[in-house]
Structure 1
């Protein structure tokens, strides 16, 4: 066999090998580097049977914040954007809102006026848009909104603004025997209608803030659950470990967040015996998404940013560690 033939065959072999490698890269949207390596090495160590850090499948629990960790959260939390849109849609049935704050300012496009109403005003907006209906009716409203509403910066449906690298990470963990959960400060009833299609996480594996829900039997002899205007559980900050204990029942081995609202969840996961992993999504990409941390009015990352190096938590730099931010736009 002459040298030319050998060179051609070698080239073809390498091309096929590189193509196969690309096809089998479970984290294809992650750039090669320390972040990707840290993830794959942790998964390898914890799933290698007989190894010192082996974790049995039943205990392979991974928890993920949602806002700012699995999808975007700027310029306002998407659930708040949903509530504001709902007020506008409901306004024709409520003429009294034209003279009542915070609805008057909201309908006039006066953001400062809405913010001036404080927590009381925000609570009133959430009450009229999230309660007084059955859970099924609310789920239908959320599905309609995610199908029609568009983000002001990207002009894409909100449920398409999910992070492709994180979707791959969820798939990668599940392929290696981990059970993935969402543990978010967002409303559990707001997330459950769409997260399974977006992330592959079923509704029973979603932990979130919740309001009081009551059972009633209708005049048509059909049972329903009705959403009441009363807070039951806030799944944020120190509430996250409480929610994990209440609804999951196992301490996670893997946790991912992006803000100080996730600090206690990361502590609860990692400050324990055995192999533990914590990941923080650091928003550093103003061009492809947003850049913010300590001073942000949404998703503030301050205390957790300082604590990450001391705890050995992985700080994922969105600008340098991710090849892409969002999945390709649907045609």
Structure 2
């Protein structure tokens, strides 16, 4: 049967349009892929980042920094991933205490454990930070480092955030993941410098951020070398604190573990204040950034006063000295990768 004129025309138009799409769409995708920071809205904040990177990576420029000296440090909780309603490591510790309770009948007579396991929030609150520290210590000691790493991985595979109903390690900030990759593409070496436990973060940080274990600095407990009955060596996690990587401890940890002063630092709270100060006190081009939580709809809105992630002194210095403050609501077009 001979095709009608209308059919021929429609077919011809379809072929032309498909050919047009084959030319245009790859070009459009290439444009999208060439944007290293697609989750960042255009504006002063994004420009401050890209301008800084351009300045320190342009050979022959007044602010050029050799690749070996391009050190960038990032807080974790509230800077790279969510930290509300409680620090995720605290959520892990509390869940682990519940799971361990059947193997520790003595906890039934110990007030800190008794209050928590019975759901007596008032009694637990009265114990304050000391009571919480007891629970956290129990969840982080008395096992080998390998056993601890497995417990963290198992928890991440099953536990979900109470608001978002997603695994905790999906609640990483997509704009910050893009920023980390952008910096590495431009010759930076990226580090986590966090008050969180170093062995807790090292389990999942590389997959989440592309930051390997040796570039994660955090609080740590004393570990003890031992041999089992078969002569196999292991490291036992003890209840003794070795180092707290928070506040003034952050510059100390940077000096101890990196040995170079960063030229770029990002935080979100007063716990990062000294790290930001230490970074900005060096010579040459410097960058200090603060993630300000202003988006109650997509994440949370808080700063000061706040039990988690208080931002007060660092906020004042940022405003006084012109540090870059990221307004989450205004500067990010999406917060998490799972957003449309």
TM-score, L = length of structure 2 = 0.91
Q: Supply the distance in 1 between the matched residues of 2:334 and 2:212 (Cα, whole angstroms).
A: 25
Q: Pick from 116, 138, 141 the counterpart of residue 106 of structure 1.
A: 116
Within the alignment, does 1:212 sit opposite 2:222 as a pair?
A: yes
Deviation at 1:20, TM superposition (A): 2.9
Q: What residue is the counterpart of 1:167 in the other structure?
A: 177
Q: What residue is the counterpart of 1:285 in the other structure?
A: 295
Q: Pick from 298, 310, 322 the counterpart of residue 312 of structure 1.
A: 322
Within the alignment, does 1:275 sit opposite 2:272 as a pair?
A: no
Q: What residue is the counterpart of 2:53 in the other structure?
A: 43
Within the alignment, does 1:195 sit opposite 2:241 as a pair?
A: no
Q: Supply the distance in 2 between the matched residues of 1:70 and 1:159 (Cα, whole angstroms).
A: 11
Pairing of 1:94-243 with structure 2 (within 5 A): 94-243=104-253
Deviation at 1:209, TM superposition (A): 0.5
**Inter-CA distance 69–51: structure 2 relative to 1 (3 Å threshold):** same
Answer yes or no: is the 8 Å Cα contact 2:261–2:282 preserved in 1.
no
Q: Supply the distance in 2 between the matched residues of 1:222 and 1:95 (Cα, whole angstroms).
A: 30
Q: Supply the distance in 2 between the matched residues of 1:125 and 1:15 (Cα, whole angstroms).
A: 55
Q: What residue is the counterpart of 1:256 in the other structure?
A: 266
**Higher mean displacement: 89-98 or 46-55:** 89-98
**Higher mean displacement: 167-176 or 15-24:** 15-24
TM-score, L = length of structure 1 = 0.93
Answer yes or no: is the 8 Å Cα contact 1:164–1:325 preserved in 2.
yes
Answer yes or no: is the 8 Å Cα contact 2:57–2:186 preserved in 1.
yes
How many residues were matched structurally? 322
Q: Secondary structure at the match of 2:302?
A: coil
Give ranges in structure 2 of 5+ residues lacking alignment: 1-16
Q: Supply the distance in 2 between the matched residues of 1:320 and 1:13 (Cα, whole angstroms).
A: 35
Deviation at 1:14, TM superposition (A): 8.3
**Inter-CA distance 139–11: structure 2 relative to 1 (3 Å threshold):** closer
Answer yes or no: is the 8 Å Cα contact 1:63–1:180 preserved in 2.
yes
Deviation at 1:11, TM superposition (A): 12
Deviation at 1:221, TM superposition (A): 1.5
**Higher mean displacement: 106-115 or 197-206:** 106-115
1:177-229 CA deviation, whole Å, 9 max, x = no partner? 00000000001011111100000000000000011111112211111111111
Answer yes or no: is the 8 Å Cα contact 1:101–1:117 preserved in 2.
no
Give ranges in structure 1 of 5+ residues lacking alignment: 1-7
Deviation at 1:17, TM superposition (A): 5.6
**Higher mean displacement: 271-280 or 109-118:** 109-118
Q: Pick from 232, 245, 251 the counterpart of residue 255 of structure 2.
A: 245
**Inter-CA distance 53–14: structure 2 relative to 1 (3 Å threshold):** farther
Q: What residue is the counterpart of 1:4 in the other structure?
A: none
Q: Pick from 303, 325, 333 the counterpart of residue 323 of structure 1.
A: 333
Deviation at 1:115, TM superposition (A): 2.1
Highest CA radius of gyration, 1 or 2? 2
